[in-house]
Amino acid sequence: MNYNFKQEVQKPERFVGGHRLCAGCGAGIAVRAVLRALNPEDKAVITNATSCLEVSSFLYPYTAWQDSFIHSAFENAAATCSGVEAAYNVLKRRNQVQETYKFITFGGDGGTYDIGFQSLSGAMERGHDMVYVCYDNEAYMNTGIQRSSATPRFANTTTAPRGQVSYGKQQNKKDMTEILAAHNIPYAAQTTFIGNFQDIHEKARKAIYTEGPCFLNVLAPCPRGWDYPTAELAELCKLAVDTCVWPMYEVENGTWRLTCEPKRKLPVTAFLEKQGRFSHMFRKGNEWMLEDAQNYVDEKWQKLLSHCV
């Protein structure tokens, strides 16, 4: 199916306005883009780990979700989704359900990379027909911008602050997409919001309509945690891709493939300088941080290229 942006945006919204997400937040954009990939006639069951997205979109008795929605704890959203998918299969075999349902989990990086990783790994290993979508804003934003294992090295957070004896987070970011691909699932992909949304749409559609467990990792900037003007969200996503900080690729049945290669690879400073959380890296005497960040991105990029066909 050829992608038609005008046609896709005319579909009825399945995640509607009126939610309480911050202006310039990537989470809501990620949800709308993923759900737009569903066929209009198909129904969905959404499970959502505790997160900015959950507390902002479902405050009883108000909801922004048009599909069935289940709020799970940080640690068990994938387990909840897999349990509902298993129950659906039983009802299907008994001819008690006729409609086609798709099962999608949304979680932030805290509920995916860290607290919810055990249940996510288990659901993927068991082979449930479901999609897990991580909207990665690179810290525990909902509870005060604490560092997570998705937080990049040198980023300033409330639990890994910059200062006279600290330079922010000391560890590099966990490569969650690579970890999920190592589960030998049918489809895992990394994407964000660039251009006309074709990349995220096509990957979301593949994930939803590929039988078996699938994983989608979406870079979703946070204006509070990253410290950028709200209007610059799309620019930050593009810079993340053009600097190779956030490569766009997919792993389909074990085959690695780049889906967007920068025409001109920009230095990592082009991405870092736009965010207040990295401002200390540009102070005199901290040049080694910029050099270290560039070397890390270059090494990861070369490793990815060696995987891809």
- Give pLDDT, residue 194: 95
What's the rounded Cα separation, in Å, for the pair 146 and 15? 27
The confidence band for 100, taking pLDDT boundaries of 50, 70 and 90, is very high
Each residue's pLDDT tens digit, 5-53: 999 999 999 999 989 999 999 999 999 999 999 999 999 999 999 999 9
pTM above 0.85, yes or no: yes
Tell which residue, 240, 242, 304, has the closest CA to residue 278: 240
Give residue-wise pLDDT tens across range 225-278. 999 999 999 999 999 999 999 999 999 999 999 999 999 999 999 999 999 999
Half-sphere exposure of 158 (CA within 13 A, CB side): 10
Residue 19 belongs to domain with CATH number: 3.40.50.970
How much is the average pLDDT of 209-221? 98
Total number of domains in the chain: 1
Q: How far apart are CA 122 and CA 250, in angstroms?
A: 21
SS3 category, 308: strand
Q: Provide the pLDDT confidence category of residue 309 given band limits of 50, 70 and 90.
A: confident
Give the C-alpha separation, 279 to 23, whole Å. Answer: 22
Residue 249 has a pLDDT of 98
User: Which is it for strands 187-191 and 248-252: parallel, antiparallel or unpaired?
Assistant: antiparallel
State the sign of the Cα–Cα–Cα–Cα dihedral 37, 104, 240, 19.
positive
Rounded (5°) CA angle 227-168-24: 15
Q: Both tokens of residue 33?
A: 């883009």
Measured CA to CA, the distance from residue 77 to residue 287 in angstroms comes to: 41
CA–CA gap between residue 44 and residue 38 (Å, rounded)? 8
Residue 1 has pLDDT above 80, yes or no: no
User: How much is the mean pLDDT over the chain?
Assistant: 97
Q: What is the pLDDT of residues 45-77, one digit of tens each?
A: 999 999 999 999 999 899 999 999 999 999 999
Partners of 308 in the beta sheet? 256
Look up the domain containing 258 and give its range: 5-307
